[in-house]
A and B are shown apart, each in its own frame.
Chain A
Amino acid sequence: MSEETTEKETFERALRSLEEAVELLEEGELPLEEALACFERGVRSAGRCRKVLQAVDTRVEVLLKDRDGALNVSEFKEE
């Protein structure tokens, strides 16, 4: 669970960081060294986003509730 959340958060944070980097660069007012640092940040964020989006297979799981109301995830087999 925590892994999923982390992946999602990582992605959203990385995407935001990438968008910010692009906007900053496009404003064109950064001094060169800051612009280069910003560019590098953008490239790193883009790499993180790419990594998350690489998966293409559809994973199918089923969320079941046990008697105590606890939720458990297991693999789903289509009937």
Chain B
Amino acid sequence: MHQPLPHLTVSRLCALMREVLEDNFAQVVVDGEISNFTAASSGHCYFCLKDENAQVRAVLFRAQARALRFRPENGMRVTAFGRLSLYTQRGEVQLIADDLQPLGVGELQFAFEQLKARLAAEGFFDPSRKRPLPPYPGTVGVVTSASGAAIHDILTVLKRRQTGIRVLLRPVRVQGEGAAAEISAAIADLNRHGEADVLIVGRGGGSLEDLWAFNEESTARAIFASAIPVISAVGHEVDVTIADLVADLRAATPSAAAEIVAKGRLELESHLDHLILRLCGRMNDRLTLLRERVAGLERRLRSPRQMVSQWRERQSELERRLVRAMAHAHREKEGRLRALAGRLDALSPLNTLSRGYSIAFAQKSGKAVTDASALSPGDRLCIRFSSGSARATVEEIEP
């Protein structure tokens, strides 16, 4: 009944198992959670894929690990694409992964969030390290493609604004394999060259894939390390790139970046105008004040001799005024006297008497008699004529 089984060595058994696995699982797609993740110094990554009830060992070799845009981490849910094999030394089944993709979110989005979190933890986005643009933007270094829309837009703006700014372009590829490395090197080159006062790093708009070089770690680190302030100018509307977050200033487009630089230059010109006005104004004010003060002091400053002669002048003036006043008063009095004399003359009864009238004075009262009934026969009268007078007695009264 019992057919005797052939004896196998362990190696032979493992070789058979491996053959079975590799023939039947040449291509597998497995969803699972990463655990026990280890990135070895060789560059290969070892981990387990597991779910609630089971787990399988997996490996991601160096070349494939490097091609990943995100970093696998424990607890991350991924889809692994690969094949099964046997790790014969240990007799363990092993999933050899060619690619991993995060489950649920796009790979790029995921990689973006991961890098963002990591750099944030390192303080790359710290507002306190954002530097102001230089006061004198004489030379602007530009890191972008020599043939793209970005450099064209930047030059158009700077030429239109007539700012006299010098542009130093360090041409790079802005997308595709190796673009991030070129961008990073260009930023370092411009720093080494040392003539640019500010850098514009960017490109025209594109898809998330096209803009990827601006979301890579090497670009972020180069911007962070730049001693020259960096304006990011990645033409896109929806999301920010990592480069935008690290840069000292973010412009929405290359044109906007050029406007910022031009504005700095124009503000500088206006600052200078202002300083010159203040300089001259302040000096003028001061000199005007001083001149007035000197003139005022001069007016108040007199020698004693001047004062004596001034007193003398004053004295003789007063004298003149006194004489003039006296003469005036004299003339006035004289005039009044003449006028009064004239009026007195006109009122004098002597004139009337000269025309044949006479005045009778009662001797008793000495008053002029104006009514005959006031007299009685026998009263004595003194009659005054124009020339001389006579004494008379009243004989009869005719009322």
Asked if B268 and A78 make an inter-chain contact with CB atoms under 8 angstroms apart, the answer reads no
Asked if B275 and A59 make an inter-chain contact with CB atoms under 8 angstroms apart, the answer reads no
Q: Mark A1-19, 1 if CB is under 8 A from B, else 0.
A: 1001101100110010011
Asked if A43 and B279 make an inter-chain contact with CB atoms under 8 angstroms apart, the answer reads yes
Select from chain A the residue with minimum beta-carbon distance to B165. A58
Question: How many Å lie between the Cα of A8 and that of B166 in the bound state?
Answer: 12
Report, as a range, how many residues of chain A touch the other chain: 35 or more
Among A19, A22, A63, which residue has its beta carbon within 8 angstroms of that of B189? Answer: A63
Among A5, A18, A79, which residue has its beta carbon within 8 angstroms of that of B275? Answer: A18
Question: How many Å lie between the Cα of A1 and that of B136 in the bound state?
Answer: 17
Asked if A53 and B164 make an inter-chain contact with CB atoms under 8 angstroms apart, the answer reads yes
Asked if B162 and A56 make an inter-chain contact with CB atoms under 8 angstroms apart, the answer reads yes
**Interface residue ranges of A5-47 to B (CB < 8 Å):** 5, 7-8, 11-12, 15, 18-19, 21-22, 25-26, 28, 32, 35-36, 39, 42-43, 46
Known: A46-B275, A79-B147. A58 touches B163 (CB 8 A): yes
Asked if B269 and A53 make an inter-chain contact with CB atoms under 8 angstroms apart, the answer reads yes
Select from chain A the residue with minimum beta-carbon distance to B140. A58
Interfacial residues, chain A to chain B (CB-CB below 8 A): 1, 4-5, 7-8, 11-12, 15, 18-19, 21-22, 25-26, 28, 32, 35-36, 39, 42-43, 46, 49-50, 52-65, 71, 73, 76, 78-79
Interfacial residues, chain B to chain A (CB-CB below 8 A): 135-136, 138-139, 141, 146-147, 151-152, 155, 158-159, 162-171, 189-190, 192-195, 197, 265, 268-269, 272, 275-276, 278-279, 282-283, 286, 290
